[in-house]
Amino acid sequence: MINRFKAISLRMPDGHKQKITIIYEDQPAGIRVIPDHWDKDLHNLLDLLNMQLDKVLGGNSPKIWVVHRIDADTSGLVLFAKNAEIHRSLNSEFENNKISKFYLAIIKGCPSEKKGQINLPLLTGGKGRVRVNEKGKPSVTNYKVLETFEKFSLLEVSPVTGRTHQIRVHLEAIGHPLAVDPVYSGSQQITIFDLKRANSYQETKNSALISRLTLHAWRLKLNHPVDQVPMDWVAEPPKDFQALLKALRKWGSTS
């Protein structure tokens, strides 16, 4: 099998470098999956992949199809298809819950039950904000507590349905929103100060551990749409997510 796609490196508008890795081809936080509705110049994965394929095939390449999306501030796995037939097949698998998605989420507090299911209908309102509402679409999220800390917990979260902001709203609804979520938890970042008392100017200057959603699309399990061979892909969390976990294990332990 020829891998046409290489790792993509680019510089974000704020100046920091970003790298997109192709986990599997038959194949990051801060980058949209599709073009932004208002600003077409913002980086997005769909355009980046199409441009790279054009370079390899000389300009008349087939277009890439988006199978599912994650929020721009969520890191992790995103699935694309290289033709319409496979796109339809994978969409059908998602709709029939035959593809399993697993996320890692760092949340505020800890659920009383270490394993459970959140079954609450979700309704999208004005400005794209989502809320629990009996008139909304049926929405189901499973979760499992992996680690607990003094103020936070690490969960494995598996959405059964695929509603907009589903994980974020469901976790907020049970009183344990993402540790960082400007919309649903009111938190912009987690700093060293949130975990320990800084004792130097350098710690004060570099206190931010993570400044985006504490949510990572960690794992995808599905059967290959052509030969039905089981596929299981994992994307390890990026540096900021791992830095927060390391700090929590050091300063935020419940022991």
Tell me the two tokens of residue 85: 């037939």
Query: Look-up: residue for tokens 């990026």?
Result: 238
| Ramachandran quadrant class, 251 (left: phi over 0; alpha: psi -120 to 50; beta: rest) | alpha
- Triad 49, 52, 54: Cα angle to 5°: 110
Beta bridge partners of 145: 155
Cβ-contact 106, 71 below 8 angstroms: no
- Residue 254, number of CB atoms within 10 A of its CB: 10
Q: Which amino acid is at 42?
A: L
Residue in 14, 39, 71, 181 annotated catalytic: 71
Cβ-contact 218, 76 below 8 angstroms: yes
Cβ burial, residue 246 (10 Å; 0-12/13-18/19+): exposed
227 catalytic per annotation: no
Instruction: Dihedral sign for Cα 238, 206, 110, 182, please.
Output: negative
Cβ-Cβ contacts under 8 Å for 106 (sequence gap 6 or more): 152, 153, 154, 155, 178, 179, 180, 214, 241, 244, 245, 248
Tell me the two tokens of residue 148: 């607990």
Strands 100-108 and 190-191: unpaired
How far CA 146 is from CA of 150, 152, 154, in Å, comes to 14, 11, 6
Question: Any idea which residues carry the catalytic annotation?
Answer: 71
